[in-house]
Structure 1
Amino acid sequence: MAVVREFTLPDLGEGLTEAEIVRWLVQVGEVVAVDQPVVEMETAKAVVEVPCPYGGVVTARFGEEGESLAVGRPLVTVAVGSADAAGMLSPGSGGAGHAGDGDGVSGESADGGQGSGNVLVGYGTGAAAGRRRARVRAGGRGPVPAAVPPVASPPPPAPPPVPAPDGVDGGPVAVISPLVRRIAREHGLDLRTLAGSGPEGLILRSDVERAITAPAPAPAPAAPAPAPVPEGAERVPLRGIRRAAAEKLARSRREVPDATCWVDADATELLAARAAMNAPGRPRISVLALLARVVTAALARYPELNATVDTERAEILRLPGVHLGFAAQTDRGLVVPVLRDAHTMTTAELSDAIARLTDSARAGTLSPAELTGGTFTLNNYGVFGVDGSTPIINHPEAGMLGVGRIAAKPWVHDGELAVRQVVQLSFTFDHRVCDGGVAGGFLRMVADCVEQPALLLAAV
Structure 2
Amino acid sequence: MAQVLEFKLPDLGEGLTEAEIVRWLVEVGDVVAIDQPVVEVETAKAMVEVPCPYGGVVTARFGEEGTELPVGAPLLTVAVGASEGASGSAASPSPSSSSPSPSSSGKGSGSGAESSGGSGNVLVGYGTGAPAARRRRIRPDRLDRAVAEVPVVEVLVAETPGSDGPVPVVSPLVRRLARQHDIDLRRLAGSGPDGLILRADVDRAIRTAEETAAATARVAEAPVQAQVPAAAPNGVAAAAGAERIPLRGVRGAVADKLSRSRTEIPDATCWVDADATELMAVRAAMNAATGPSAGPKVSVLALLARICTAALARFPELNATVDTEAREIVRLPGVHLGFAAQTERGLVVPVVRDAHTRNAESVGAEIARLTELARTGKLSPAQLTGGTFTLNNYGVFGVDGSTPIINHPEAAMLGVGRIMPKPWVHQGELAVRQVVQLSLTFDHRVCDGGTAGGFLRYVADCVEQPAVLLRTL
TM-score range, shorter chain: 0.7 to 0.9
Equivalent residue runs for 1:372-451 within 5 Å = 372-451=385-464
TM-align CA RMSD: 2.7
Q: Aligned in 2, Cα 1:97/1:240: closer, same or farther, shift over 3 Å?
A: farther
- 1:160-211, Cα deviation, whole Å (9 max, x unpaired): 56999xx9xxxxxxxxxxxxxxxxxxxxxxxxxxxxxxxxxxxxxxxxxxxx
Q: Do the aligned residues in 2 keep the contact of 1:19 with 1:42 (CA within 8 Å)? A: yes
Q: Give the aligned partner of residue 161 of structure 2.
A: none
Q: Work out whether residues 403 and 441 of structure 2, in 8 Å CA contact, stay in contact via their aligned partners in 1.
A: yes
Alignment match, 2:190: none
1:298-339: per-residue Cα shift (whole Å, max 9, x none)?
Answer: 000000110000010110000000010000111111110011
Task: State the partner residue of 1:136.
Answer: none
1:20 counterpart residue number: 20
In the other structure, the counterpart of 2:373 is 360
Shift in CA distance, 360/158, structure 1 to aligned 2, threshold 3 Å = farther
Provide the rounded CA distance (Å) in 1 between the counterparts of 2:113 and 2:309.
49
Matches within 5 A, 1:139-178: 150-151=142-143, 159=171, 160=173
Residue 150 of structure 1 deviates from its aligned partner by 2.9
Maintained 8 Å contact 2:19/2:70: yes
Match of 2:259 among 250, 257, 271: 250
Which region of structure 1 is more displaced relative to structure 2, 100-109 or 270-279? 100-109
Q: Distance in 2 between matches of 1:120 and 1:359?
A: 26
Answer yes or no: is the 8 Å Cα contact 1:377–1:394 preserved in 2: yes
8 A Cα contact 2:13 2:125, kept in partner: no
Using the alignment, how far apart are the partners of 2:114 and 2:457 within structure 1? 65
Q: Distance in 2 between matches of 1:436 and 1:283?
A: 38
| Cα distance per residue 1:243-285 (max 9 Å; x no partner) | 0010000000001000000000011111111111112553111
Q: Give the 3 Å change call, closer, same or farther, for CA 109–446 of structure 1 in structure 2.
A: same
SS at match of 1:37: strand
Structure 1 CA distance for aligned equivalents of residues 127 and 92 of structure 2: 21
User: Mean alpha-carbon deviation: is it higher for 261-270 or for 100-109?
Assistant: 100-109
Q: What secondary structure does 1:253 align onto?
A: helix
The counterpart of 2:246, out of the listed 234, 237, 241, is 237
Map 1:25-424; keep pairs closer than 5 Å.
Answer: 25-81=25-81, 85=83, 88-89=85-86, 95-96=90-91, 98=93, 102-105=100-103, 106=105, 113=117, 115=119, 117-119=121-123, 125=129, 150-151=142-143, 159=171, 160=173, 226-279=235-288, 280=290, 282-424=295-437
SS at match of 1:377: strand
Q: Relative to 1, partners in 2 of residues 1:66 and 1:335: Cα closer, same or farther, differing over 3 Å?
A: same
Query: In structure 2, what residue type is equivalent to 1:316?
Result: I
Distance 1:297 1:288 in 2: 14
Residue of structure 2 equivalent to 1:217: none
CA contact (8 A) 1:48 1:121 kept: no
- Offset at residue 114 of structure 1 (A): 5.5
Q: Does the residue aligned with 1:151 lie in a helix, a strand or coil?
A: helix
- Please report how far the alpha carbon of residue 26 of structure 1 lies from its aligned counterpart in structure 2 after TM superposition: 1.1
Q: Report how far residue 20 of structure 1 moved.
A: 0.8
Deviation at 1:227, TM superposition (A): 3.0
Post-superposition CA distance 1:9-67 (Å, at most 9, x none): 11111111111111111111111111111111011110111111111111111111111
- Shift of the 163–75 alpha-carbon distance from structure 1 to 2, 3 Å rule, reads farther
Distance 1:45 1:225 in 2: 28
User: 2:122 aligns to what SS in structure 1?
Assistant: coil
* SS of the residue 2:102 aligns to: coil
> What's the TM-score, normalizing by structure 2?
0.74
What secondary structure sits across from 1:450 in the alignment?
helix
Q: What SS does structure 1 have at the residue aligned with 2:441?
A: strand
Contact persistence 1:35–1:116 (CA under 8 A): no
C-alpha spacing 1:365/1:158, structure 2 compared with 1 (3 Å): farther
Contact 2:30-2:57 at 8 Å conserved across structures:
yes
2:194 matched residue in structure 1: none
> Residue 217 of structure 2 aligns with which residue?
none
**Could you tell me which residue of structure 2 aligns to residue 187 of structure 1?**
none
Give the distance between the partners of 1:55 and 1:457, measured in 2 at CA: 59
Deviations 1:48-104 (A, max 9, x none): 11111111111111111111111111001001115xx3x55555xx54462566212
Q: Given the superposition, is the C-alpha separation of residues 13 and 294 from structure 1 closer, same or farther in structure 2, using an over 3 Å criterion?
A: same
C-alpha change, 1:348 and 1:42, in structure 2 (3 Å) is: same
In the alignment, is the contact (CA less than 8 A) between 1:258 and 1:431 conserved in 2?
A: yes
What are the ranges of 5 or more consecutive residues in structure 1 without an aligned counterpart? 128-147, 168-222
Q: CA deviation at 1:151?
A: 2.5
Q: Which amino acid in 2 is paired with 1:232?
A: G
Q: What secondary structure sits across from 1:432 in the alignment? A: coil
Query: Can you list the C-alpha shifts for 1:114-155, whole angstroms capped at 9, x where unaligned?
Result: 63543388676479xxxxxxxxxxxxxxxxxxxx97326696
1:395: how far off?
0.4
Whether the 8 Å CA contact 1:74–1:162 is kept in 2: the answer is no
Percent identity reads 68
Q: Deviations over 1:399-449 (max 9, x none)?
A: 000000001111111111111110000000000000000000000000000
Distance change >3 Å, CA 112–CA 8, structure 1 → 2: closer
Contact 2:114 2:120 in 1 (8 A): no
CA distance, structure 2, for counterparts of residue 90 and residue 410 of structure 1:
74
Report the secondary structure of 2:253's partner residue: helix
Distance 2:86 2:415 in 1: 55
Count of matched residue positions in the alignment of Structure 1 and Structure 2:
378
